[in-house]
Amino acid sequence: MSQQLLLRYDSFDRTRFDDEAENRANAGLTLLQLWLEDSAAHWALFSVNDIDKAKSWLKQDEALGHGPAVAHFLSTA
């Protein structure tokens, strides 16, 4: 069973997102897909290699004030 993380960003800064790639990789996240919804919200789908590291990264990102509006950890069925 594989795990993914689906994030929705209501406010999206592409430069900051790209700059954070190394931090996400260190947290065991690999970007699979990035979508734009109605020219505003962005959705990002990541594969998750280490759920605990991913949760820690997410908490830290939210604490810094630039985390996603919505986060869902998903497993393949």
Q: How many structural domains is the chain composed of?
A: 1
- Place 67 in a pLDDT band, splitting at 50, 70 and 90: confident
The neighbouring-strand residues paired with 30 are: 47
Domain limits for position 45: 3-75
Q: Distance between CA 54 and CA 35 in Å, rounded?
A: 20
Mean pLDDT over 65-69 rounds to 84
More confident residue, 40 or 72: 72
For the cut 80, the answer to whether the pLDDT of residue 68 exceeds it is: yes
**CATH number where 45 lies:** 3.30.70.260
CB neighbours of 21 closer than 8 A, spacing ≥ 6?
31
What pLDDT sits at residue 74?
96
